[in-house]
Amino acid sequence: MKLTFVKPHAQLRPYIESLWVFESSFGFPATDSSIAAPNGCPKLIIPYQNSLTSVADGRASVSHPGKLYFVGNRDSSTSLHSTARATGFIAVEFSPAGAFPIFGIPMQATSGGLWQTDQLLTKWSLKVQDALENHPDVRTKVQIVQDALLRLLRSNGVRNDVVEHCVQVLKSRDGLVSVQRLAQDTGYSRRHLNQLFHQNVGLAPKTLAGILRFQKYYRWWAERKPYEAIRDAMYDHYYDESHFHKEFKKMTGHAPGHFRRQITNEFGRRVTLR
């Protein structure tokens, strides 16, 4: 399994958290629980070799090569599978509020789901798919995707400064900022902030805060820090150990102890340590 991270085009960097290519001669290892924990980033997934099966909230979806798929923001884990054959896909992870200015689609309409882009932007999607099909080289495919996103950005490109500010505050504090504090800082009501976040992010600010709070600990796991150190520090972010366990299971699908002892998730580790 190989993950190659690509530096996004300069004009796309404010909107993209990471861009990478997954390659494997045998797909996702059957012995490895390949889990994508929520990170507050909507995604564009482009399989070009083999199909991918994703399971989220008990529902399985299949992504076929040659198609583009948009993954809306969610606050629960997704497990990934494939058949044991050569597999490759491109992934674009947008910043929490980065997809809306590019696609111009209210993010609450995509939240929690996986959408073939033919359903969202038919003409654009078909044009990109045709271009990708005509160029087998992966580096060229990545460039085609970036060029296509740039064209959308130039057509839409409306960023919300209030949401961007709130997202940056939440990220800088690992989610430890109340919605009331954000409302006071921006001068908007909590209700209006919720509306803005649902349109631009697809999640309420409180939900995004919970994801960012969890991500700090998930990154520590990815860095192989001792669980005892993670557990001892969690009281700064969670009410008690029970609260931490509940959130951990929601975000990964497993209790912390089981995850630590039984789950390999090398895929999740490498994506987290990008």
Tens digit of each residue's pLDDT (9 = 90 or more) over 189-245: 999 999 999 999 999 999 999 999 999 888 988 898 887 777 777 777 888 888 888
> Is residue 89 over pLDDT 90?
yes
3-class SS of residue 271: helix
Distance CA 98, CA 102 (A): 7
> Is residue 30 over pLDDT 80?
no
| Residue-level pLDDT at 178 | 94
Please tell me the number of Cα atoms within 13 Å of 165 on its side-chain side. 14
Q: Which two tokens stand for residue 209?
A: 């805060």
What are 240-269's pLDDT values in tens digits? 888 888 888 999 999 888 888 888 888 998
What are 36-70's pLDDT values in tens digits? 999 999 999 999 999 999 999 999 999 999 999 99
Closest CA relative to residue 54, chosen from 77, 84, 22, 74: 77
The residues near 19 (Cβ < 8 Å, ≥ 6 apart) are: 5, 6, 7, 8, 90, 91, 92, 93, 142, 146
Closest CA relative to residue 205, chosen from 194, 195, 213: 194
| Residue-level pLDDT at 274 | 80
The residues near 119 (Cβ < 8 Å, ≥ 6 apart) are: none
| Residue-level pLDDT at 237 | 80
What's phi and psi for 68, nearest 5 deg?
Answer: -110, 140
- Element (DSSP H or E) covering residue 94: strand 87-94
- Element (DSSP H or E) covering residue 81: strand 78-81
Averaged pLDDT score across all residues of the chain: 93
| Residue-level pLDDT at 242 | 86
With beta carbons less than 8 A apart as the criterion, state whether 230 and 220 touch. Answer: yes
Please tell me the number of Cα atoms within 13 Å of 130 on its side-chain side. 6
The partner residues of 24 in beta bridges, in order of sequence, read 87
The stretch 150-163 carries a mean pLDDT of 93
Q: 2-155 has which CATH code?
A: 2.60.120.10
> Residue holding tokens 């399971």?
55
- Element (DSSP H or E) covering residue 59: strand 59-63
| Residue-level pLDDT at 262 | 84
Distance CA 114, CA 55 (A): 10
Better-predicted residue by pLDDT, 168 or 235: 168
